[in-house]
Amino acid sequence: MSNSSVPLVAILLIVHSRPGPKLVFQYPANPEVQTPLHAEDGQRHGHTTGLGVDSVQRNSAVEGSTVEKATRSQSISNPTDGKIFGLSVDTLERVLSPGRWSDRKKFEVSLSGLTFVSHPVYADREGRWTKSRHDRKASPEASNDRSSTAANFADQSTARDGEHEATADLDITITEPPENNIDFSHVAESFESGNALSLGVSENSGSTTSAVTAEPLTAFHVLFALDSSAPSQPDRVNVFYEQLAKKLSQALTYCQKQSSYVGIESRRLMQMQSRLKQENASNGMLCSRSIEGSELAWALSVIYDRVRNASVATFRLNGMEMSLQIQHVEDHNLSQCSAILLLDDRDTLLRELSSPEQSPLAYFIRHSTPTKSLQKQAAKLGTPVRHLLQFAQHLIKWKNARAIAPLQPRNTYVVHPGTSLDSLEGLATDYASRFAVLPSLPQMLKILGGRPVKYGQLIPSRDHRAPYMDILAYLIRHNLVERLSTFGWLQTPAQLSRRCTSDAELNENQRPPSVSTLLSPLLRPQADDDTASVSSERTAVPVFPGGNGRLPAAAKTKAGTGPKFLPEAARMVRDPSNPTDDDLSYLQCIRAMIRDDTLRERLPSLSAYFDGQTALEDIAAREGLKRSMLDSWLEMLVDDGILVTFRHV
Amino acid sequence: MLKAVFYARFHPERGPSVIHQYPETAINVSTTEKKSSLLDFSNISSYVIPVYELCNKPLAICTNGYRVLGFPVSLEDEKYERNRFTYNVCFILDESADPKPWERIVSKTAAFFTDLEATEGLLQTEERLGGLKWAGDECYPADVGVLYSLLETVFFELNTYGETCVMVTDLHVLNLRLASPAPPHRDVRHWDVPLLIRALPNGDDWTYDLALRQINPHINGVNHVQKVSELADVDIDLIIKTIRGLLSHGRIMLLDIFHFHAIYALTADFASFVKDDALQEECLHYVAKSSSEQFPSGYELITLYRSLNPGVPVKDFYLAHESRLVNIDVRRFITFGVIKGFVRRIHKYALSVESQAISVGGSRTSGSPSKAVHGLDVDADDRNRAWRKAAFSSGWATPPLDPSAGERDSGNAHDGNTPAVEGGTATQNSAELLKYLDGQHCMDEICVALHMSEKQVMERLRGTEVLYFNR
């Protein structure tokens, strides 16, 4: 699900201490302003202009030792010149370091086609990260505890009491490398430097710009660099701020308060930087080594890669799991009539759950089907539908599912107008492995891209129903096909007027059934005593005053006395939810024409659906009717000329 | 809405300072006392007067709910103290306001100030005038110099009229206009049909682009871009450029090529057409043949439009409703819907299965239910493929795509309807055709590119494994 419209260009981590601001980490190593064609699996293979340092060295991929080898081999020929986005690191650090006025507020600066947005967090004026009340109370103990605290800060993340909080803010002066106790699974075995983390490194690297100091951290912020040259979308920066920058910053602040997390991680990164710079390593190498060596750097790289792919970033901060994403607001069409289409394999989703066996969500995932509405599933599973809606909302929010109209063999599906066939080859292979003995993907596209037919007609036998519905779900999941829906309005048919006027002279028993119903004396003008208000030409449709319900037989005696002027042409009820007086009389007339008793009964509640905007395919689910029955009703209405329809996707 | 505008410079003694601002109390320039103003200058002074590396390009910063758009300029000259003169004219907006329309105003103002300074030294001269008050001084503003009143005019006129014209000297006139940059239009393609939606001015009154003058007679809502190029004998790239210009001025629209094999379908907007009597009236006048005595009714139009179904080409639609269409120009009938957006063209795409099918060959074993159901001529396909595969692997000459294609082409060449495709170029043409069979190119594009009709393309592709689908 690569999304080329995501404007994210890079993520930067800047920390402040007394000597000044410091760019500790940036990802990717060589940011590109234009979006690469495919940004998948952490690989960048764009062909765009690098704004970064060594533009030759493009593959700043993060995973696997092969990548590391590649970057290593390239790094020799690509020494850095210290420029990012065409600016010196020094300038960038300065311009991206607002004053204390930006503390815990939105910070946004735009320069040379880029907008940087972040949520800076400052320590208090004394440089402390936790409240001084705890500090004072716990400090004697804390000083005893200092060395062990540093080594055990990972455990502290669970501790909530003031004592540990207090010690945490003293950790800034740690002298022990703490990484032995950190539990993060991604640390590469090649990370060779337990001892290199000691602060001694700063002495060796005094000549480089990245001298590592033991200065306490006074502020930090993670900046999201966005391409702002694109046409204006004022909300876009805010979306990145609210959904990524702010949330991440709040999480990091928590970790920093708990265990000086940001301070420790950034120091680790700076040490790594200064060492690698001495070895003349390239930016790319620096970047990949940072990611291997620091949980925070890893998290930032995951956020970048996932957000660029419009998917969910899941990572760990200080051992605690966190997920971030840019949410789209399009999925508001979830209702109890919708079905849930899982966007990933059931097993994959179940594996991602922490307790796949017991959790109700797992139960829901295991039993969800795109062919049944949530309402029906709730009945089947014996769960309240609001629970299912919650599960569905959760799955949709985290991009694991989509709300769709339940898949139905009675519906017509056609190739999606916006189908991108870029990835068709890969899909065809994947498809073939799933549906081995069924028509191939191109065949299915051909059929569904031809003259529209009901999907059920493609299913050769009852036994094929399940696999064919699976195919349909697959096609919908990959946006290859879409439902062709039917919409319609009710009308009084044109011939009605002609027949009615002539019929008026006929004997009652000679009339054709439908018209006799219509003209049956059951109907009288709506405004019985005020015929003047009803325009004789347009609205003299006989109407029974009550509006609904059976009509009294006694009224039959008035057969010939009803008004005989009927609409010359067919009259459509174009807005049934706000009917005019005319519309009401048409509806009455239409109702009288209906042959099926049940349908006639239900018409008042159904008529609102015939507004040209509600898909007729959805009526059955909304009204809790059997689809086959509804279809036969609609067919009857169309045959009688009462329902006019059109179709679109 | 512009909240404030100010002019600041780096002063060798005072550091970054605001010289002029309008309104007078918009920015708090004092570092000590808190005043009710939009923002504190001390917070953003390093962004208003940044390091040299960030000068001479736009720089915007948000603070206190406001967005400060600036374009710091740094002039280097021996005549200045410290050999540099750094200043910035900044515009303050609400943070929620869209800054895009202002960006060009900010850079144009910066360029104007630079010009004032470079040619007349006006910015520096003004500071030496006796009685000049700086923003934040007592009795600011003093009635000295031109810059304060310049800012005042810019502020008022941009807010009131969206444009301004200030004459500072005879030579220096600042013209600014607030305009959102036009949304980008989609690319003009060779097979797009341009249609003028607003008449061009008379050529006698207005001299326009030579290319436009040349192509104007051929833009009629029927000819596609390539045809216009051929008829007018104008380079196609020039035409595309011209059309792009007309698009951005809202004078032209791009349609698809209308022909009777094309398929059209309705969109969701059809519901609003049905409800809109005025639109139906407009439609009546547009689609009725000039010779017709009787106008169709709105209801009839709705009925006709409703019969447009995906899968039904215009030809079939016409035949089915011939009697009703007597008074209606079918092309205009369709075009009206396309222009108003309630009808859309469904394009036909061709996808060569060669690359796709081989990878999924396993799925097409004999006896698969698909054949029986869909009645596809799979056997012929299989034979054909087996033969081609054998041919490729044995090193024979590349088998022709369709043995009879050459003959048909030479036959077509005599029709004179389409540009001739000589038998000799048929192979070359076929090779070119293959490029378009990836499912990304619609049939219109293929036909225009190869100068063939849809029928000819289909015939050329007969016998090859090509899937057609509409979308």
B375–A contact, CB cutoff 8 A: no
What is the per-residue pLDDT across A114-139, written as a single tens digit (0 to 9) for each?
999 999 999 988 888 887 554 444 44
H or E element at residue A648: strand A643-648
Q: What pLDDT is stored for residue B381 in this prediction?
A: 55
Q: Which of residues 457-476 of A touch B (CB under 8 A)?
A: 458, 460-461, 464
B302–A contact, CB cutoff 8 A: yes
Q: Cα A603 to the chain's mean position, in Å?
A: 38
Averaged pLDDT for residues A301-313: 91
Q: Cα A235 to the chain's mean position, in Å?
A: 17
Q: What pLDDT is stored for residue B270 in this prediction?
A: 92
Which residues are CB-contacts of B105 (< 8 A; sequence separation ≥ 6)? B91, B158, B176, B177, B178
The sign one gets for the Cα dihedral A21, A22, A28, A32 is positive
Averaged pLDDT for residues A57-68: 36
For B267, the closest chain A residue by CA position comes to A648
Averaged pLDDT for residues B317-343: 91
Nearest to B356 among A88, A428, A464 (CB): A428
Q: How far apart are CA A496 and CA A523, in angstroms?
A: 15
- For A259, the token pair is 């265990």
Averaged pLDDT for residues A437-459: 88
What is the per-residue pLDDT across A468-522, written as a single tens digit (0 to 9) for each?
999 999 999 998 899 999 999 998 876 654 444 444 444 334 433 333 333 333 3
Q: Cα A283 to the chain's mean position, in Å?
A: 34
Say which residue, A26 or A151, is predicted with more confidence: A26
Q: Cα A98 to the chain's mean position, in Å?
A: 33
* pLDDT tier, A263 (very low <50, low <70, confident <90, very high otherwise): very high
- For A414, the token pair is 């056609």
Which residues are CB-contacts of A401 (< 8 A; sequence separation ≥ 6)? A340, A341, A342, A343, A368, A392, A395
| Range from A236-245, A520-529, B156-165, B330-339 carrying the lowest mean pLDDT | A520-529
Say which residue, B389 or B414, is predicted with more confidence: B389
Task: Say whether B32 sits in a helix, a strand or coil.
Answer: coil
CB contacts, 8 Å: B356 with chain A = 424-425, 428, 440-442
Under 8 Å between Cβ of A89 and A82? yes
Of A72, A66, A7, A78, the residue nearest A42 (C-alpha): A66
Q: What pLDDT is stored for residue A48 in this prediction?
A: 35
Averaged pLDDT for residues A267-273: 90
CB contacts, 8 Å: A5 with chain B = none
For residue A444, the distance in angstroms to the closest alpha carbon of chain B comes to 9
With an 8 Å Cβ cutoff, are B181 and A440 in contact? no
A189–B contact, CB cutoff 8 A: no
Q: What pLDDT is stored for residue A195 in this prediction?
A: 37
Chain B contact probe: residue of A95, A242, A440, A441 with most B CBs at under 10 A: A440
For residue A140, the distance in angstroms to the closest alpha carbon of chain B comes to 39
Under 8 Å between Cβ of A201 and A4? no
| Range from A582-591, B71-80, B228-237 carrying the lowest mean pLDDT | A582-591
Q: Which of the 8 DSSP states describes residue B466?
A: E
Q: How far apart are CA B80 and CA B118, in angstroms?
A: 12
Averaged pLDDT for residues B260-268: 91
Domain boundaries, chain B: 2-177, 193-255, 276-346, 350-470
With an 8 Å Cβ cutoff, are B309 and A489 in contact? no
Averaged pLDDT for residues A224-241: 81
Residue A36 has pLDDT above 60, yes or no: no
A104–B contact, CB cutoff 8 A: no
With an 8 Å Cβ cutoff, are B303 and A644 in contact? yes
Q: How far apart are CA B99 and CA B104, in angstroms?
A: 10
Which residues are CB-contacts of A390 (< 8 A; sequence separation ≥ 6)? none
pTM: 0.68
Portion of chain A with pLDDT greater than 70, in percent: 65
For B468, the closest chain A residue by CA position comes to A446
Residue A142 has pLDDT above 60, yes or no: no
Q: Which of the 8 DSSP states describes residue A591?
A: H
Q: How far apart are CA A533 and CA A527, in angstroms?
A: 8
Q: How many CB pairs under 8 A join A and B?
A: 198
Peptide bond into B50 cis (omega under 30): no
Task: Say whether B129 sits in a helix, a strand or coil.
Answer: coil
What is the per-residue pLDDT across A175-229, written as a single tens digit (0 to 9) for each?
333 333 433 333 333 333 333 333 333 333 333 444 455 678 899 999 999 988 7
* pLDDT tier, B324 (very low <50, low <70, confident <90, very high otherwise): confident
Q: What pLDDT is stored for residue B158 in this prediction?
A: 94
With an 8 Å Cβ cutoff, are A232 and B180 in contact? yes
A427–B contact, CB cutoff 8 A: no
- For B35, the token pair is 């005043």
Q: Which of residues 479-508 of A touch B (CB under 8 A)?
A: 484, 487, 489
Peptide bond into A28 cis (omega under 30): yes
Q: What pLDDT is stored for residue A81 in this prediction?
A: 60
For residue B31, the distance in angstroms to the closest alpha carbon of chain A comes to 13
* pLDDT tier, A296 (very low <50, low <70, confident <90, very high otherwise): very high
ipTM of the prediction greater than 0.90, yes or no:
no
Say which residue, B158 or B142, is predicted with more confidence: B158
Q: How far apart are CA B41 and CA B96, in angstroms?
A: 20
CB contacts, 8 Å: B317 with chain A = none
Q: How far apart are CA A443 and CA A412, in angstroms?
A: 17
For B307, the closest chain A residue by CA position comes to A646
Residue A544 has pLDDT above 50, yes or no: no
The mean of the pLDDT values for chain B is: 81
CB contacts, 8 Å: B310 with chain A = 414, 452, 484, 647, 649
Work out the angle between the directed axes of helices A385-397 and A360-367 (0-180°, nearest 10).
Answer: 90
Under 8 Å between Cβ of B89 and B113? yes
With an 8 Å Cβ cutoff, are A437 and B365 in contact? yes
Give the residue carrying structure tokens 């306001």.
B97
Work out the angle between the directed axes of helices A283-293 and A295-308 (0-180°, nearest 10).
Answer: 110
Q: How many other CB atoms sit within 10 Å of the CB of residue A532?
A: 8
Work out the angle between the directed axes of helices A162-170 and A246-259 (0-180°, nearest 10).
Answer: 90
What is the per-residue pLDDT across A324-372, written as a single tens digit (0 to 9) for each?
988 876 556 788 888 989 988 888 888 887 776 778 888 898 888 999 9
CB contacts, 8 Å: A443 with chain B = 364, 370, 374, 376, 467
A435–B contact, CB cutoff 8 A: yes
Pair type for strands B39-40 and B27-28: parallel
Q: What pLDDT is stored for residue B426 in this prediction?
A: 60
Task: Say whether A505 sits in a helix, a strand or coil.
Answer: coil
Q: How far apart are CA A315 and CA A184, in angstroms?
A: 10
A116–B contact, CB cutoff 8 A: no
Residue B107 has pLDDT above 90, yes or no: yes
Rank A253-262, A621-630, B379-388 by mean pLDDT and report only the highest.
A253-262
Q: Which of the 8 DSSP states describes residue B288?
A: B
What is the per-residue pLDDT across B196-216, written as a single tens digit (0 to 9) for each?
988 887 767 766 778 888 888
Under 8 Å between Cβ of A493 and A570? yes
Angstrom distances, CA of residue A360 to CA of A354, A367, A387, B70: 12, 11, 9, 55
With an 8 Å Cβ cutoff, are A95 and B47 in contact? yes
CB contacts, 8 Å: B374 with chain A = 439, 443, 447, 458
* pLDDT tier, A235 (very low <50, low <70, confident <90, very high otherwise): confident
A426–B contact, CB cutoff 8 A: no
DSSP-assigned states of every residue in A209-251:
TT----PPP-EEEEEEEEE--SSP-HHHHHHHIIIIIHHHHHH
With an 8 Å Cβ cutoff, are A648 and B360 in contact? no
Of B205, B326, B349, B158, the residue nearest B263 (C-alpha): B349
Work out the angle between the directed axes of helices A132-151 and A162-170 (0-180°, nearest 10).
Answer: 70
For residue A24, the distance in angstroms to the closest alpha carbon of chain B comes to 21
Under 8 Å between Cβ of A284 and A74? yes
With an 8 Å Cβ cutoff, are A109 and B372 in contact? no
Q: How far apart are CA A314 and CA A303, in angstroms?
A: 8
